[in-house]
Each structure stands twice: as C-alpha cells, then as structure tokens.
Amino acid sequence: MPQTSLQEKKSSQTYLQGGKERQSLKRKRRTAELSEDSENIYPPSKVPALSHVSYTESCNGAHSIENPCTPQHQTSPLKEQQEPATWSELRNATCFLTPSGSNNASNRPSPLPSFPWADGSQVWALMCLGDQKTLSQRDPQMFQRHPTLQPRMRAILLDWLIEVCEVYKLHRETYYLAMDYIDRYLSTHQNVPKSQLQLIGITCLFIAAKVEEIYPPKIAEFAYVTDGACTEEEILGKELIILKGLGWNLSPMTAPGWLNIYMQIESGDWSKPNVFIYPQYSGLQYSQAAQLLDLATLDEGSLKFPYSHIAAGAIYHTQGRERALRASHLSWEQLAPCVKWLTAFASTVLEDGSQFLLRSTIPPVESNSGSGLKATVPNIVMDESHRIQTHVVDLNMLEKAQQRLAEEILLVDVEETDVKTESDRHSSPNESGLLTPPSSSQKTSPTTPSLPPQLHPYT
C-alpha cells in the first residue's frame, strides 16, 4: 500500500513537471506569434517601438484572477479611451484603438444630424481626422522617387482600371480604393520599375474588390484582363507586399464617400435621423459630380488636396457655391484653391462629357424592392446604378483639361508679372535704388550717342 502511494506520488510529480513544460512552450510560441504578427502588420521602417516592461511587472506581481490588475495609466493623446477593468474586457479589447475625435486639428463644425446610435460630432471629427491622415500619406512629388515613372503612366493605368471596373460592374468605391492604394504605395516606396506598374494596379484592384464588393471577381479574372502580363502567383505575391506597405490600412474615406455624405446632407429634412443611412438624392446629380471626380483624379495634381476638398469642389461646379460650403462646412479660403484647380476639368466635362454620360447609361439596379421602406422613407432612391463605376472619361479629355490648366497658370503668371512691373514703374528712384532715364518728351535736343571706347590689345 505505501509502495503504491509512492508510485502515484512520483507519477503526479512527473505529470506536473510535464504540464509546466507545456505551459512554458505555449508561452514561448505565443510570444513568437506576437512578434511575427507585429512584423507582418507594419512595414519594416514603420514598426513601432514596443515597451520592454511586461504586463505582469506593471501589475506589481498580481497573478490571481480574483484580483485582476489593470495597467498603470500613462499620459497619451487618447484620453477618452478607458483602461480594461476585468480580464474579459482585456481579452475582448481590440488591438488598434480608435483615435479620439476631440484631438482633431481641423475646426470644421459637424453638419451631420444627431444620431440615436452615435454622436454626430464625434463621427464627423473622426472622418476629418482620417482625411488628413490619408492626405499625409500621399506625396504629390512621388514621381521623384521613381525615375522610370511619369505622371502620364499613372493616368493610363487608372484609365485602364476604370475600364476593368466597368466590365465587371464594380462599384465606384472599389475603384477609388484601388487608386488610393496605388498612390500610397508609390508614395512610400522608391525606384519602382515601370514593368511592375500594371502588376501593382491590378493587385490593388484585387484587394479593393475583396474589401468592398459582396461578390468580388476571382483572381483568375484579374489575371485574365492583363492579357498574360500578370499571373495569379505574381498577384498573390504582390498582394502581401502591398498590404505590408500600406500598414494594413485598407479603409480610407475616399472622394465618392465624401460626395455621398455631402449630397445626403443636402438631400432633405432630417427630422428623422434614422433615415440618414438611406440614399435620398438624385442619382443623376451624383453621376455628374462623380464624372468630374473621375477626370480630375487622373491628374497628379489631385494628390495635393484632401478627398473632402475634391468632393466639395465637385459639388461647387455642379450644384453651386452655397451648397458646397453648407454641406462641407469649409470656409471659402479653404476651398478656393481646389475649386480653381478643378475649373479646367469642369469646363472640359461641360464641353465633352455630357455625351459620354448619356451614352454610358447602364440598366437600373433595384435594391430593397418590396421591403416597405417607402412608408418610412418616402424619398428613398431605389435605383443604385449611379454607384457602379462607368468609363465616362478618357485620356483625350484629360489632355484638354491639362492644356486649359496650363494656359490658366500661364495667364496668372503673366498677370502677376504685369502687376509687378507696373508697381516697379511707379516707384520712386529712392525706393527702388535705380536711376530711370527721362522720357523722350523731356529731352530738349537730340544728342549723338556716345560710342564705347575702342579697346586695343596688349602689346
């Protein structure tokens, strides 16, 4: 009997030792997985500095579940984020904290109505904060990083992507997400060869379709539209590289998203804030403004402006100044540079774009049919065909718009030069420091011009 108990005791000790070893192996594997995840989430040059203080050390050695510990409060810009109070809250907490909208640098008041499910001012502040972040990640001088690339190549690539989206009836948001991925990827990398540009473009469209579309096309279809230039294996390999380069930030607020918000704000009375999520504006007006966006974003000058300003400028040229300022809550000083830049593109669309818009009509896409929403939302627009990306602009229209833009810039430079010359002419000699010869009417007698002295060579 004692011998049996001794054997049981030894077996229990070995079992406990084995359990401790397994737990230590699990901890090592978990830390290794966390380190690998941190390398995969962020690009190599943007890995944040992690604290070397362990979570248990910050909890002052408390290991019991009955007395859960909370990390010590540190001063951070996210003051409104509350620390987890229990282990369940800590386990369910997200890895990426949403930045507080109170720290937004822009002072744009919120035009959104009051929502029963969220704070409209906070939602607006987060939208503006994301817009500024996206602007900082797009470099207007990105072609200086790539000696083999030209702005014309970007326009050709985007025009081809628009055509692909029209063939597969992809949404406008899908195309603009792909364009944002391309610009941000080229802004953070260097020396991209032009042979890789089509692969980058079709891979970004592949990622955007998986993010936005309910039924995205298969990868074989994306490889097929390249006519053998890109294989499925190359697209999959480039996908991981682009995702790491973007920091897995795949949901920016694009220009059509801002356009949707602006037109929804201007669509009617919002005494019932619950109906704000249903479209109630004219699809034709949206298509006209979106056509201007399609043409203007083909130009590399669009990288200088935030998406919210470009959308507000499109509303300015299609619906008027008052609506643009009221919907965006931007001042005229903030919106004027983008509006002046868009003038050349708006003139080109007004001249050549109307026939393209009428010729590219697609059959209406009905949604929510027979759902009884008409009783709750009388002005709801069931047709969603305006959300499908259509190929209503071409490179010829872009060339005309760029030529007009160059002429306007040249005219402004000439006017500034004339004004400067006129001011110098009226300035006194003491102010300018230059002696001005008298006019011809003040001369009394003609004088022979003095010849320069003849120079003799040294002998």
pLDDT tens string 77-101:
333 445 555 655 555 554 444 444 4
Q: Find the angle CA(136)-CA(108)-CA(96) to the nearest 5 degrees.
A: 50
Q: Which residues contact 230 (CB under 8 A, 6 or more apart)?
A: 198, 199, 202, 203, 222, 223
The arrangement of secondary structure in 253-357+373-401, i.e. its CATH architecture, is Orthogonal Bundle (1.10)
Give the pLDDT score at 340.
Answer: 94
Determine the Cα–Cα distance for residues 243 and 394; give it in Å rounded to an integer.
30
Beta-bridge mates of residue 309: none
Instruction: Tell me the CATH number of domain 140-244, given options 3.90.226.10, 1.10.10.10, 1.10.472.10, 3.40.50.20.
Output: 1.10.472.10
Query: pTM of the entire structure?
Result: 0.67
Q: What per-residue confidence (pLDDT) applies to 179?
A: 96
CA distance 307 to 254: 6
Contact 272, 278 (CB under 8 A): no
The contacts of residue 307 (CB under 8 Å, 6+ apart) are 131, 134, 135, 252, 253, 254, 255, 257, 258
Give, rounded to a whole angstrom, the gap between the first and last alpha carbons of the chain: 132
pLDDT, residue 456, reads: 45
pLDDT digits (tens, 9 = 90+) for 108-150: 888 887 777 788 888 899 999 999 999 999 999 999 999 999 9
The predicted-structure confidence for 152-198, as pLDDT tens digits, reads as follows: 999 999 999 999 999 999 999 999 999 999 999 999 999 999 999 99
Instruction: Report the phi/psi class of residue 435: left, alpha or beta, with left for phi > 0 and alpha for psi in -120 to 50.
Output: beta
Residues of the chain with CATH 1.10.472.10: 140-244, 253-357+373-401
Q: Calculate the alpha carbon distances from 240 to 37, 246, 393 in Å.
A: 13, 10, 32
Coil, helix or strand at residue 291: helix
Q: Is 418 left (phi over 0), alpha (psi -120 to 50) or beta?
A: alpha
Query: Which of 56-65, 85-94, 115-124, 300-309 is predicted most confidently?
Result: 300-309
What is the distance of C-alpha 75 from the center of its chain?
30
